[in-house]
């Protein structure tokens, strides 16, 4: 009798636990929906306040008059509704409505971006920068902390998108906004900032690989959202020869495998053939139905512009990027990136028209050369063994 009673009590307890878990889930989901609705409503309110002030006050030709009105509004509203409506925040709302004049775009962004996200984006001077960070934040669901880290790390300036003419870059961002369609120019960067690996002046290729695997979470964060680790030292067997690919990832947004080859020294023309072999093998043996062809990323200590251009690597699905294990001062990095963007856009603007329908315009491969202080230019050698 006691045995059956204990079983009944145990069954009842298990049912109660499941009920408790289900109710907790309902509460959490409802709270999230309410928070999202409140966030969307606040962003819409701030945009509308900014729009009305721009329309009704700041359109006046007398700048001093508009300034006095905004100051008076801030004093009165902060008394009634708190410091969130003081003069400083009122001015932010005006800037918000001016920077994002299309209410439909604001509504779409506000489903993922809170007011703090917009506050972080508003100080950016370049329109393309603002659009890039807003859309990437929406698609990849960045927190405010991650967004600020991306801006501080000059993510936009390190993408191939920043080196395109503004008109082409806006078309790509428009496709991202409408279709959530990621492209390699949005995903891949140059250079990659690997200072978190803690490597000193001298190290071997295996040390670099080991450090990446130790700090895999940070490395994937630097690569960007959507990357999943697949394999290390992936064996590629061709006839009776074995080759070993350093790192293999998969990118959900691109729907393709990403082969990563690490080089201690500068990029060499022979690195292209090695990566092409990996990509053809992966396409034949690892690609799943519905996936796009694999793409390759060669990470190296340095590269030469003319070599990269002549080899036309992107036609083979290959990207070459530098990595930095020690960061230069931010002003130095910013200047080099801005110079690279200016040079790339100039070169693309002077490029002759495409002569045949099969040739597609290439995005720029000229970035700039950044070398790690104290690093020796060692040529990375492929590991090859006879079976």
Question: How many whole angstroms separate alpha carbon 129 and alpha carbon 161?
Answer: 10
- pTM of the complete model: 0.68
pLDDT in tens, 28-44: 888 888 888 888 889 99
Which whole number is the average pLDDT over 368-377? 35
Longest dimension (CA), the chain: 92
pLDDT at 209: 79
> How large a percentage of the chain has pLDDT more than 90?
22
Per-residue pLDDT for 276 more than 60? yes
Per-residue pLDDT for 123 more than 90? yes
* Structural domains for the chain: 1-105 (no CATH), 124-186+330-356 (no CATH), 188-328+370-386 (3.40.1350.10)
Cβ-based neighbours of 184, under 8 Å, separated by 6 or more: 160, 254, 295, 319
Which whole number is the average pLDDT over 241-269? 89
Question: How many whole angstroms separate alpha carbon 345 and alpha carbon 256?
Answer: 28
Note whether 121 and 77 are within 8 A (CB): no
Helix ranges restricted to H, the chain? 2-53, 63-81, 87-99, 103-109, 115-121, 127-140, 144-152, 155-158, 166-179, 184-187, 205-214, 216-223, 270-285, 305-311, 330-349
């Amino acid at each position: 009798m006691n045995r059956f009673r204990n079983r009944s009590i145990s069954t009842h307890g298990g049912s109660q636990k499941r009920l408790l878990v289900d109710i907790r889930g309902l509460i959490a989901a409802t709270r999230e929906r309410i928070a999202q609705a409140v966030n969307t409503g606040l962003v819409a309110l701030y945009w509308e306040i900014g729009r009305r002030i721009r329309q009704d006050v700041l359109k006046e030709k007398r700048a001093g008059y508009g300034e006095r009105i905004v100051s008076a509004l801030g004093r009165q509203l902060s008394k009634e509704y708190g410091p969130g409506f003081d003069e400083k925040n009122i001015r932010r709302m005006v800037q918000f409505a001016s920077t994002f004049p299309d209410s439909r775009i604001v509504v779409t962004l506000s489903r993922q971006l809170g007011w703090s996200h917009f506050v972080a984006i508003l100080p950016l001077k370049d329109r393309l920068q603002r659009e890039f960070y807003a859309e990437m934040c929406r698609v990849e669901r960045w927190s405010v902390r991650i967004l600020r880290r991306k801006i501080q790390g000059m993510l936009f300036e390190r993408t191939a998108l920043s080196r395109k003419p503004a008109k082409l870059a806006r078309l790509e961002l428009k496709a991202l906004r409408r279709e959530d369609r990621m492209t390699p120019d949005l995903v891949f960067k140059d250079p990659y900032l690997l200072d978190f690996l803690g490597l000193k002046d001298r190290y071997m290729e295996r040390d670099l690989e080991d450090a990446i695997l130790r700090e895999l979470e940070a490395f994937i964060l630097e690569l960007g959202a959507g990357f999943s680790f697949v394999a290390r030292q992936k064996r590629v067997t061709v006839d009776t020869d074995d080759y070993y690919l350093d790192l293999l990832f998969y990118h959900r947004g691109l729907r393709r495998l990403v082969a990563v080859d690490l080089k201690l020294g500068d990029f060499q023309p022979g690195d292209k053939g090695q990566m092409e072999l990996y990509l053809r093998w992966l396409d034949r043996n690892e690609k799943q139905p519905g996936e796009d062809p694999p793409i390759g990323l060669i990470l190296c200590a340095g590269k030469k512009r003319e070599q990269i251009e002549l080899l036309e690597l992107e036609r083979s699905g290959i990207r070459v990027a530098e990595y930095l294990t020690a960061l230069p001062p931010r002003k130095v990095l910013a200047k080099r990136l801005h110079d690279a963007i200016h040079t790339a856009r100039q070169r693309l603007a002077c490029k002759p028209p495409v002569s045949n329908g099969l040739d597609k315009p290439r995005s720029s491969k000229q970035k700039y050369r950044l070398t790690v202080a104290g690093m020796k230019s060692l040529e990375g050698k492929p590991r090859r063994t006879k079976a």
